[in-house]
Amino acid sequence: DDFSKGINTADPHLKIYSMITGQINEHLIDMGQSVEALQKMLTIVNLDRVLVKGYISPEEGNYVRQGDAVCISQKEMADKICNSVITSLNPALDERNKSVVANILVATVNGFPKPGLNVRLSITSKTGVPAITVPLSAVVYEGDNPVVFVKTDERTYEKRIIKGTKLTGDKLVVESGLQENEEVAVTQLFSLKALNRFEKYSAE
């Protein structure tokens, strides 16, 4: 009788306990399939936090440090997370991308970002020393020399050869040739360049 009662009250479902909470990502067995001890039956992922990898050029990598603030967004989407930091930097360049790899452990918000999603990273870092930067759109070249046009008054711009070899994002770090708070032209550069040549020929 006790045996019969045990059969009648037995739970027909096998209870499986996981070491983590999350969502089932893969089912590795079929319904009704027999399994062996320690056989892998499914995978579970916890999406409360995800690891985001950022690929940074070696030139930009000179400025990036562990703990730098990171803003994560997706192109043409409103989703954005700006309370993350760089968790670690891989010590060697990634062989495939020839880039410095930044690892950012991110707490997801409303399911963003998801694994496999391409995102955009904006990193805020400090150079350690004061630095002057100009947009790449403000730079033209004369031979191998980078040139900017510096505003001297409301209607006058002065051509200035600068020295700047370190690129970061869409800006050029200027090592010499510019002073703090000087304004440079970012539009009509070819017109300014042509006008400068005309004035030079006129003087000759």
| pLDDT tens, the chain, 204 aa long | 554 554 556 566 777 777 888 888 888 988 888 888 888 888 888 889 999 999 998 877 878 899 999 999 988 777 788 899 999 999 999 989 889 999 999 999 988 998 889 999 988 887 666 778 888 888 888 888 888 888 888 878 888 888 876 666 677 788 888 888 888 887 777 676 666 654 543 333
Q: How far apart are CA 178 and CA 162, in angstroms?
A: 7
Topology of the domain comprising 49-124: Elongation Factor Tu (Ef-tu); domain 3 (2.40.30)
Say whether 132-203 and 49-124 share the same fold: no
Strands 88-89 and 100-107: antiparallel
Domain boundaries, the chain: 49-124, 132-203
Distance in angstroms (rounded) separating the CA atoms of residues 128 and 72: 24
At 56, list the tokens: 């940074």
Domain 132-203 in CATH 3.40.50.460? The answer is no
Tell me how far CA of residue 19 lies from CA of 45, 50, 105, in angstroms.
11, 18, 20
Can you give the pTM of this predicted structure?
0.60
